[in-house]
Chain A
Amino acid sequence: GAGVSQTPSNKVTEKGKYVELRCDPISGHTALYWYRQSLGQGPEFLIYFQGTGAADDSGLPNDRFFAVRPEGSVSTLKIQRTERGDSAVYLCASSLGSGPYNEQFFGPGTRLTVL
Chain B
Amino acid sequence: AQSVTQPDIHITVSEGASLELRCNYSYGATPYLFWYVQSPGQGLQLLLKYFSGDTLVQGIKGFEAEFKRSQSSFNLRKPSVHWSDAAEYFCAVGPPNNNDMRFGAGTRLTVKP
Contacts and interface: CB of A to CB of B under 8 A. Distances in A.
25 contacts: A4-B43, A33-B99, A40-B106, A41-B106, A42-B92, A42-B104, A42-B106, A43-B103, A44-B103, A45-B100, A45-B102, A55-B99, A56-B99, A59-B100, A91-B43, A91-B44, A98-B98, A100-B49, A100-B51, A100-B94, A100-B96, A100-B98, A101-B51, A104-B101, A106-B36
Contacts, number: 64
A61 interface: no
Q: What class of interface size applies to chain A in its complex with B? A: 20 to 34
Given A41-B106, A42-B104, A43-B103, A100 B43 contact: no
Given A56-B100, A93-B44, 14 more contacts: A3-B43, A43-B90, A43-B101, A44-B103, A45-B99, A56-B99, A58-B100, A100-B51, A100-B97, A103-B46, A106-B36, A107-B43, A108-B41, A109-B43
A42 B97 contact: no
A112 to B, nearest CB: 16
A85 interface: no
Interface in B15-46: 32, 36, 41-46
Nearest to A107: B43
B98 A106 contact: no
Interface of B: 4, 32, 36, 41-46, 49, 51, 90, 92, 94, 96-106
Contacts of A42: 4, 90, 92, 103-106
